[in-house]
Amino acid sequence: MDSPYESWRKSSHSAPNGDCIEVSRSLQGTIGVRDTKQHGTGPILDFTAREWTFFLQTIRSRGN
């Protein structure tokens, strides 16, 4: 199965212990999220732009 995601980014704030996620935006506008420990072979969570915005707002509202 081909993935619509080509360029993945990891936060510069990620710890070196491997507990990180990567995100990518597809040409269709969806946002993919994956676990770096899976080395690109694990599942990808797909968000619409609206879902992604809500997700980030929820995380930010809960603080660190």
Could you read off the pLDDT of 11-63 as tens digits, one per residue?
Answer: 877 777 777 889 999 999 999 999 988 888 899 999 999 999 999 999 899 87
* Residue 31 · residue 24 · CB < 8 Å: yes
**pLDDT, position 1:** 57
Q: Sketch the domain layout of the chain as residue ranges.
A: 9-61
**pLDDT, position 37:** 86
Does the predicted model carry a pTM greater than 0.85?
no
Name the burial class of residue 49, with classes exposed (0-12), middle (13-18) and buried (19+) by CB atoms within 10 angstroms of its CB.
exposed
